[in-house]
Structures are given as structure tokens and as C-alpha cells.
Amino acid sequence: MRRALELALLGPAWGENPQVGAVILDASGSIIAEGFHNGAGTPHAEVDALSKLSVVPTGSTAVVTLEPCNHTGKTGPCAQALVDAGVSKVVYAVTDPGQASAGGASTLKAAGVEVVAGVLEAEGLALVEKWMWFASHGTPWVTLKWASSLDGRAAADDGTSKWISGPESRAESHLRRSNADAILVGTGTVLADDPELTARKPDGSLYSHQPLRVVIGSSALPEDSRIFNGDASTLVLNTHDLDSVLSTLGSQGVKELWVEGGPTVASKFVASGLVNEYLVYLAPKILGGSRVALQDVGVGSMPASVDLRFESVTRLGDDILIRARGK
């Protein structure tokens, strides 16, 4: 199963489908084939692994990170493919929560295939949690990211913000950005900073995958704004209704949304309770002043605070990346 989890990471983190890995074992327990899912429209991990074999030996076991699907979409049902191939046993980590795709285990059992579920389930869940949220809610997993000084400022009082964080933080942030489906800012950020909102490598070149650039708000944007260049697609939503924004993006298959601000938009997401994960790049600088990373989030007293738990704290050059989620 650990090998299957490694294989899953070879597939794209973006897109409507989850990252899934699979290995086929012979009767002695040796790996005889491997596969992973390379994105929507491509073979699922189980089928990819089976395609490496001309004949599936008697007594073979398929080990998969996610319960084999049970529906026909752009590809056929994996559960039936395993039955047709003559696999004797299927082991998987995570049960499929999808309304259409779930039920593969029942199909396998009905065909006489032995099924074992929940092997390394925690590791498997960590791999597909954003997809599971999307599959269950129909809206994107929301990651809120900001970079700030030690005293919580996103810019100096004159408005300058380049660069609060160091090169290591910026490189790591762009890598994470390249794995998101969409990145969102408000019209105020576009007017103030004219960002490109692209995902770039340290040498300045573009990553192969670029997230959809989403701008929300009612202010008119200049046609020559850099978000309208040809480096990535851009969607402008003339609304401040965050639920409507998430619903629209969900209907377009956006599984993970990165919210990068500015402070007004970020604060609205926090106040609305819509943030699944926080990524805070903290630089060893003191700026003071009024340019805070977050504004009013509807907390009037300590008992009303938005309480989080730290998932990880990582050193990036001189900076610290704090990854946090709600308790």
C-alpha cells in the first residue's frame, strides 16, 4: 500500500479526479505491475496497472489507494475491470464517498473477490481529502494563504510588499499554487498590485499547469491588467457573495481554490467560516502600521475567536510556514 500511495503522487493534484495509485501482486506477494491515474479522461490506476500485464496470474491481489469505482464516466468501472481480469483479492485504503462512483466493493464481493478495506486509511485520506470534500459538498476546498511580517503586517505603511517573504517561501508558495485548480483575489488587489497570478518556477518560467485566475468584486478592471495576459485563463465574477462564488467554481470542476487576498477578501472568507486550511508564510520582520494581513473577521471577544490547530510548522530559509486548520 505504501508503494501505491507513492505512485498516486505521480498523478496531477489538480483536476476533478483524485490521485490514485495501484499495484498488482502475484500469489507470492511480489509486485508484478504498477499504475496511477494521470487525470480526467485517462485510465484509472487499476486499469493502468492491469494494462501492463498480458495475463493476470491466478491468485493475484490488487492494492489500491481508493476503493475501485463502480460507474461509467469518461472511462469504465474499475471494479468490473478487476473482476474481468480475474483478480482474486482487492485491498484498498479509502472508501469512495462519491454518489455515482461508490459501491465498487459490493460489486467485487458479489463476484466472489475477497475485499479488504481501510489499510493505511489515514495516509490514504490525506492524499484525497480535498477531492473528498469536493465530492461530498460540490464546492472547492478553500486554502487561504498570506505572507506577513512577524507582527502580522502584509505591507509597509506606504503599501510596498515586495518582498516580505524570502525566495524559499516564494518558491514553495508557487509550487503549491501550481497544484491548485484556481487562485482567487479581489478587484482591489488587481487594481493595487496588478498581479499576474501565475505559478512560476524559481527561474521565472511557468509551471506546466496554471490555475484558473478568479477575480471577485464590482470594481471595473483595466483591460491591460496582467491577469488578462495569455499565461492562464481568467474568470471575473462581479459579486461579493462568497457562497455563490464557491458554487460557480464547483460547477466548473474546481476542486481546490487558493485565496490570496487581499486582506478584505481574506477576512470575508474567514468571517464566513469557509476556510478549510490556512497557509501563513511568516517573515522575521517588524513593520508596524495599519497594513494588516487580516481585517475584521467578526470576532468581538476572546471567546469568539477562530480557534485553529497547527498541522505543521516548516522552516523555509529565514521564514516559517505555518499550516493550520480549524479544531
Catalytic residue positions, numbered? 46
Cell numbers for 282? 511568516
Cross-strand partners of 152: none
**Closest to 32 measured CA to CA, from 51, 48, 46, 53:** 53
**Dist CA 319 CA 280 (whole Å):** 10
326, 312 Cβ separation under 8 angstroms: no
Query: How many Å separate Cα 204 from the centre of its chain?
Result: 23
171, 174, 325, 192: which is closest to 264 by C-alpha?
192
